[in-house]
Amino acid sequence: MKTAKSSQQIPAYSRYRRQIRLPEIGLEGQEKLRSASVLVVGAGGLGCPALLYLIAAGIGKIGIVDGDRVELCNLHRQVLFSEKDVGELKSEIASRKLKNRNSDVKVTSHNFWLSNDNIMETLAGYDIVIDGTDNFPTRYLINDACIFMEKPFVYGSVYRFEGQLSLFNDEQPDGTRGPNYRDLFPEPPPAELVPDCSDAGVMGVLPGIIGTMQANEVIKWITGMDGLMNGRLLIFDAVQSESQLVSIPKRIDNPVTGENPSITRLIDYEQFCNPANGDGVDEISTKELKNWIKTGKDFRLIDVRQPEEFEVSHLGGELIPLEQIDYIAESIRSDQPVVFYCRTGRRSAEAIRKLNPHVKFNNLYNLKGGMESWKRMSD
């Protein structure tokens, strides 16, 4: 005959007693939390609050994947960091601060960007994933890798005053898997329809709300509670303080899990999410640009972002904001390639479109994926 677990079997019982008193969790649920492992991809606006509540709940093992460094413009929403952390690796700072909050939890920092080369090995050590990323290539990479490895993941995203939340690829009672990100978005929207976060902005408290909801979803999943967001998308309006739930049906034309899947292994997600433009904008990849720099090729490099963005980080070259780009048409030489870049490649592509009617040379190139791609490829 089995006996109930005593409070002494749960580390630091007094720390967790308020949630242990909940019948839906109890001693058994707390033990499940202690035995669970969670990977948080992105220690940013979503990842920071999610990490704070996961560590507080007593998750046994937490992994943090992020190859970025803390910037001053992060601090209005990335609540784990302070001014003295600017310039430091996010994953290392987050790991150190979390360990100070709860020594019961094993925290591992992965100081890199997820890629085709490392994602399978990284995900293998965890039960469930939180997607706290802010770019389409990594979102689709996480989605497909989780499908191939049969792991659930909690999706979250924010834009201006709107946030979204869902649980993807969760195992169903019949052994099948629930809807995934590609059932919601089979393909990424065209780059020109995706506003740059630097342009659109985001209310600082919104990632805190959605990130906390992501942690809540993980705790529910681990402890076996009802009400999971599997097959549902929550859309939250921070201005009106209203939310709505949308059902996510499984698509028969899903390219990974549909009736006739066309994607059976990891693909080139930079190419998938940033295909070459068909409107006369030539592109150069991060790899090609690195080779130009390495070989000493003569070319002109222009950053079309705003001065405050340039001050935070840049690739070098000239700073000519998009709204001033028309003025440089006469200075473009026919014998020198010109590479334009911004955060994601959207604004720099627009710069080339604005110049094309005034420049008769075919030597204007957009850095594909912008600085976000550069950072991921650099790691």
Rounded Cα distance between 115 and 51, Å, is: 22
- Taking the CA atoms of residue 45, residue 134, residue 206 and residue 93 in that order, the dihedral angle to the nearest 10 degrees is 0
Sign of CA dihedral 216, 222, 224, 230: positive
Tally of CA atoms within 13 A in the half-sphere of 191 that contains its CB: 26
Residue ranges of alpha helices (H) inside 327-369 are 346-355
Return d(Cα 113, Cα 81) in angstroms, integer: 19
Find out whether 235 and 244 touch, Cβ atoms under 8 Å. Answer: yes
Whole-angstrom distance, CA of residue 22 vs CA of residue 27: 9
| Closest residue by Cα to residue 72 from 89, 62, 60, 85 | 85
Among residues 210, 94, 100, 225, which one has the least CA distance to residue 160?
A: 210
Residues sharing a CB contact under 8 Å with residue 189, sequence separation 6 or more, in sequence order: none
Q: How far apart are CA 48 and CA 52, in angstroms?
A: 6
**Which of the following is catalytic: 48, 146, 273, 342?**
342
CA 21 to chain centre: 35
DSSP labels, 260-287:
S-S--S---HHHHHSPPPSSS-EEE-HH
Instruction: Give the 3-state secondary structure of residue 154.
Output: strand
Q: Which of the residues 48, 73, 197, 273 is marked catalytic?
A: 197
Rounded to whole angstroms, the Cα distance separating 275 from 320 reads 25
Q: Mark whether 73 is an active-site residue.
A: no
**Phi, psi of 300, rounded to the nearest 5 degrees:** -105, 135
**Cβ proximity of 196 and 136 under 8 Å:** no
**Is 342 annotated as catalytic?**
yes
Active site residues: 197, 342
